[in-house]
Structure 1
């Protein structure tokens, strides 16, 4: 996992320092003007499509409506692929998606470009990351310990839950980390990410499940369907609370909190232990510059990065808020920042 961290951090710095890559506005040319649309469609991943996040989705829709003067329609989904195909094909104009999903959509259609990402706690891109976790049920963590450290050796042969093979923190990063770790061992020296897609008697995992969302992968773990599960911190933060240990550090124990919404409402009090933590580049709001005009693109970027949105408590929840949301103020410096395509090159590198 240290190798993955080094790759992500080093390439992120290169991408930011270089400032290269195609800008969203560069994807449009005078020779191919964009026809003005009266309705802007936003596609949402399954992770953000739940009823508990409707207010957060609607508030961001209002930001877009106010900025452009156009009506907004929300396209919630049950599968990563649906959202990725929607933005790539132009059936959606805006999408909130993980880095891997963005890279896949951009590969399908170069007119898909990043608009903004949420900053880190510093208010900059330097720490604009969230965290990919590998988790086991509380009380079952000892086989994954070596002294005071947590190790992955004993995940081989287990029932494992990913999120989706288009998920950055729920597949791409953990699978790359698993391959990097185990390929140093003679028995697994030829291991590839493709070997992790399915389980079986002669496979790396005895069984492989897909949660369809980070919440779904966590449920697979807590209900006993999986022995180990990959999911990220931000997508379950509305449903769990730190019970012991240090947040986003191996050994941290999280508990499903009272009042947690579906699909955790029947799992109140259930606990899990984090055994591996890897930082991941923050998720972008992406746009299709073939369906969003350059004029509207500028309006959207200006709106998202404005003080009004930064200080909007329904967009960036206050630190002490108990509400469910997509973004939260921890230091008071968090905000949306413009970002270019090259910033996501570290994610592209994981596929090479």
Structure 2
């Protein structure tokens, strides 16, 4: 774990740039929590566990994956699962923190925000890296531009962010780790070295007129990417894992600055309106993997233990509905490229993301 923490702390954004409402049933039913959440949390006595999902994982294309997670949870605990899909990060974060949801799959920043509101919100598991360990348990935050516009963001042969000032920029949500927290802190760190921007803060990036000419929020990583591809934004932040089901490498290597990605011809919403469009990645920054988190106000230690055992089992690691083979056409939550699996993790593992706010 120490190696993983050191890896994240030392790979800064700058160095990367320089180098380069409704119904609910059992596990098959879902409730949409756009305007409101449940008024009372699911309880152990009630025999129901509610899983909250970010907008990124709330789409119809990932329904089968959500239901498979629900099936695993039901078999492990003997309780009925309800899925709470959302169109806003904050709904999922608040639902977990206030007990209206019992579990949630969320980014590191969202987990930290929920934990800050309620210390009994704790991480359960995270997906490992290809090694099957926490050493490489990372995904990637991208900055991307439309293919053909990349020369505006170059200094010689290397990509540079000097010219992002006064551009139209798309983030995901200000509660997103890879779609706001990491890129915003990277931008601030870079520009703070310049006298003109020595007082720049992440708050200055939240809306247009201070640094960017306009700031948009996609609401999801998919939405931020579509903002770019429909020319609403000149440059956008989003992550690799949330768009992998919709795009393919057209030129270069995965997660390499300079690589071109193309939207698949059969891409699901919201990419179905921009099929064939291409973007180029100009920055790639590793980010700690996203956890499943649990509210221990609602969940007993016995249930938590059962969940950890189920999630970290070999059976689940080999479940192709969850860890989808790399060459599969099935849309899934996680890719199986080598030895990926779920691993139990402690709160302290997320401290590198906490440090970004200090």
Task: Tell me the TM-score normalised to structure 1 length.
Answer: 0.90
Shift of 1:350: 0.4
**In the alignment, which residue of structure 2 is the partner of 1:44?**
53
Separation in structure 1 between the aligned mates of residue 107 and residue 251 of structure 2, nearest angstrom = 28
Shift of 1:134: 0.4
Spell out the pairing of 1:99-138 with structure 2 (5 A cutoff). 99-138=108-147
Shift of 1:320: 1.2
1:335 pairs with 2:344: no
Q: For the Cα contact (< 8 Å) 1:36–1:293, is it kept in 2? A: no
**In the alignment, which residue of structure 1 is the partner of 2:193?**
184
Separation in structure 1 between the aligned mates of residue 347 and residue 321 of structure 2, nearest angstrom = 28
Secondary structure (helix, strand or coil) at the match of 2:271 reads coil
1:148 pairs with 2:157: yes
1:291 pairs with 2:291: no
1:162 pairs with 2:168: no
Q: For the Cα contact (< 8 Å) 1:119–1:336, is it kept in 2? A: yes
Deviation per CA, 1:169-203: give whole Å up to 9, x if none: 00000000000011101111110000000102xx1
Shift of 1:6: 6.4
Deviation per CA, 1:112-164: give whole Å up to 9, x if none: 00000000011100000000000000000001112221111111110000000
Spell out the pairing of 1:261-276 with structure 2 (5 A cutoff). 261-276=268-283
Shift of 1:36: 3.2
**In the alignment, which residue of structure 1 is the partner of 2:8?**
8
Q: Which runs of 5+ in 2 are unaligned?
A: 12-42
Separation in structure 2 between the aligned mates of residue 257 and residue 9 of structure 1, nearest angstrom = 34
Separation in structure 2 between the aligned mates of residue 253 and residue 35 of structure 1, nearest angstrom = 48
**In the alignment, which residue of structure 2 is the partner of 1:224?**
231
How many residues are matched?
323
Q: Which runs of 5+ in 1 are unaligned?
A: 12-33
1:214 pairs with 2:202: no
Separation in structure 2 between the aligned mates of residue 6 and residue 145 of structure 1, nearest angstrom = 29
**In the alignment, which residue of structure 2 is the partner of 1:197?**
206
**In the alignment, which residue of structure 2 is the partner of 1:16?**
none
More relative contact order in 1 or in 2 (CA 8 Å, sep 6+)? 1
CA-based RMSD: 1.3
Secondary structure (helix, strand or coil) at the match of 1:40 reads strand
**In the alignment, which residue of structure 1 is the partner of 2:89?**
80
1:89 pairs with 2:95: no
**In the alignment, which residue of structure 1 is the partner of 2:313?**
306
**In the alignment, which residue of structure 2 is the partner of 1:323?**
330
**In the alignment, which residue of structure 2 is the partner of 1:258?**
265
Shift of 1:9: 4.0
Deviation per CA, 1:82-115: give whole Å up to 9, x if none: 0000000010000000000000000000000000
**In the alignment, which residue of structure 1 is the partner of 2:354?**
348
Q: For the Cα contact (< 8 Å) 1:182–1:189, is it kept in 2? A: yes
Separation in structure 2 between the aligned mates of residue 82 and residue 134 of structure 1, nearest angstrom = 26
- Deviant stretches of 4+, over 2 Å: 5-11, 34-37
Separation in structure 2 between the aligned mates of residue 287 and residue 229 of structure 1, nearest angstrom = 31
Distance 1:6 1:305, change over 3 A: closer
1:139 pairs with 2:148: yes
Separation in structure 1 between the aligned mates of residue 305 and residue 330 of structure 2, nearest angstrom = 31
Secondary structure (helix, strand or coil) at the match of 1:42 reads strand
Secondary structure (helix, strand or coil) at the match of 1:291 reads coil
Separation in structure 2 between the aligned mates of residue 10 and residue 294 of structure 1, nearest angstrom = 36
Separation in structure 2 between the aligned mates of residue 282 and residue 300 of structure 1, nearest angstrom = 19
Separation in structure 1 between the aligned mates of residue 121 and residue 67 of structure 2, nearest angstrom = 23
**In the alignment, which residue of structure 2 is the partner of 1:241?**
248
Separation in structure 2 between the aligned mates of residue 310 and residue 6 of structure 1, nearest angstrom = 27
